[in-house]
Amino acid sequence: MANSTPRVRYESEFEPLLLLKTPLLANFTFRGDPKSDKLTGAFNRIVSEETEFRVSAVDVEADEQGTRELLVRYSVSIQLQSLKNRYMG
């Protein structure tokens, strides 16, 4: 299954998503990082196959210069990345 979750590389791409009527789930990911890739896969499976409510989802490429301010604004820490183990593999 192809990933249909939009990717954000600049803060200006993220801001319009805040106006969506559905709740926004933001996945802050680091490209090329195996743990981050695994969590992103689990996130996308959960959103597309296991969420019974209508939500919007976005992958924020946190290693991009244009998104680093979002990490600070939303208090994102790579230490906080977690999903239940049953989704990781």
Residues 25-74 pLDDT 10s: 999 998 888 888 888 999 989 888 988 889 999 999 988 889 989 988 98
Residues 31-40 pLDDT 10s: 888 888 888 9
37 CB-near residues (< 8 Å, 6+ apart): 29
Total domains present in the chain: 1
The residue range of the domain holding 39 is 7-87
1 is a domain residue: no
2 is a domain residue: no
Q: pTM for this structure?
A: 0.77
Tokens 């803060």, residue located: 11
27 SS3 class: strand
42 is a domain residue: yes
